[in-house]
Amino acid sequence: MGSDYTTLSRHVLTQMGGFSADAYDISALMGRIGLAGKIIARQLSRAGLVADVLGITGTTNIQGEEVKKMDEFANQAFIRAFEQSGLVCRLASEEMEKPYYLPENCPIGRYTLVFDPIDGSSNIDVNLAVGTIFAVRQAEQTPPEDPDRDLLQPGHKQIIAGYLLYGSSTMLVYSMGKGVHAFTLDSSLGEFILSHENIKMPDKGFIYSVNEGNFSQWSEGMQNYIRYVHRQPGYSARYSGALVADIHRILFQGGVFLYPGTTKHPHGKLRLLYENAPLAYIIQQAGGKASNGKEDILDITPQSLHDRSPLFIGSKEDVDLVLSFLNG
Ligand code: FBP
């Protein structure tokens, strides 16, 4: 267990190996992500008591989904957290068709941020765990005719990735390429304190996490994998409705999460840039694996901000087993 003094910003400085301007920039950037997370956690914690937390806004987002009031609140929390920061010039999220510019941070802002403000939105109104997913990349010179090209990069170009989990406690899990570390929010201090350092996941687990309601729409290989785990003693199905919560369980206990393509949605449901790639980065840093069924999630270059991809992610041996069924 970390001490009261291993705060998120201090841990990032240690990870950066010193007190350079870059180190302080990255530490400040993670501090802003932590701030947005605290503001979202506070709003969620009083959901049933104050107006305008639960329910829908009445609008539809670029995904064609009803926008929840918390989706909008969380999206704004991130934008507000990065205003006047000099860190991030452009942000892209699940809730915004196009990237959002913070002119006061341009062009000095040397990083870009992509995020899913609330992951597991269908859980909000029933007080079940939800999360936020984020990833940071270096901003690059882009041509005027294609200013956001540098947002469409493969996952291995992420320099930081992570998620916030709003569960019985609020946690922030991140990696900047030197292992995976988890922090727990101590609300009495208002600080994220290191609680789990250098998390390594089991090579094999006995949890499979999938929405079996889509069974009839899956490939034969995928159906055969599920038939196989149904026959094996010791396997347990766990599916929370929030990707972040299911991935968090698998990070600590092992197993595999699956969101395959379906006949209706051949690319599946989950978004590559701000759902699959950040979580693939975390899982790979913890010793696991993430694939779209054919290639490593971190090698895929998105063609557009809201591209979707199938996702098979978790313990190495479990993902390899799934791939062996998918590829016959
Ligand atoms: P949101 O980011 O819009 O919440 O969508 C993603 C998600 O809710 C994941 O968290 C979850 O794993 C999945 O969709 C659930 O989808 P389904 O209801 O089709 O099983």
Ligand 1: residue of 69, 208, 243, 264 to mutate (most ligand atoms within 8 A of CB) is 243
Average pLDDT over residues 16-42: 96
Token pair 């993670």: residue: 30
- Residues whose beta carbon lies within 6 Å of some atom of ligand 1: 65, 94, 116, 119-122, 211, 241-243, 269
Show the tokens assigned to 318. 């479990």
Q: Which residue puts its alpha carbon closest to atom 18 of ligand 1?
A: 241
In the three-class reduction of DSSP (H, G, I as helix; E, B as strand; rest coil), residue 135 is classed as strand
Q: Is the pLDDT of residue 202 over 70?
A: yes
Q: Which tens digit of pLDDT belongs to each residue from 91-127?
A: 999 999 999 999 888 877 899 999 999 999 999 999 9
CB atoms within 10 A of CB 73: 18
1: pLDDT confidence band, cut at 50, 70 and 90?
A: very low
Using a 10 angstrom Cβ sphere, with 0-12 exposed, 13-18 middle and 19 or more buried, the burial of residue 54 is middle
267, amino acid identity: H
For residue 104, the CA-to-ligand 1 centroid distance in Å is: 34
If residue 173 lies in a helix (H) or strand (E), which one and from where to where?
A: strand 170-175
Q: How far apart are CA 192 and CA 38, in angstroms?
A: 9
Q: How far apart are CA 91 and CA 135, in angstroms?
A: 10
Residues 314/317/322/323 CA torsion (nearest 10 deg): 100
Atom in ligand 1 nearest the alpha carbon of residue 130: 10
Average pLDDT over residues 44-65: 90
Ligand 1: residue of 94, 119, 210 to mutate (most ligand atoms within 8 A of CB) is 119
Q: Is the pLDDT of residue 236 over 50?
A: yes
Q: Which tens digit of pLDDT belongs to each residue from 284-306?
A: 999 999 999 999 999 999 999 99
Decide: 115 and 102 in contact? Cβ < 8 Å.
no
Q: Which residue has the higher pLDDT, 51 or 201?
A: 201
Atom in ligand 1 nearest the alpha carbon of residue 131: 10
What one-character-per-residue DSSP string does 290-319 give? EESSSSBGGGPPPSSTT-B--EEEE-HHHH
For residue 58, the CA-to-ligand 1 centroid distance in Å is: 19
Show the tokens assigned to 38. 């605290």
Q: How far apart are CA 83 and CA 112, in angstroms?
A: 13
Q: How far apart are CA 166 and CA 164, in angstroms?
A: 6
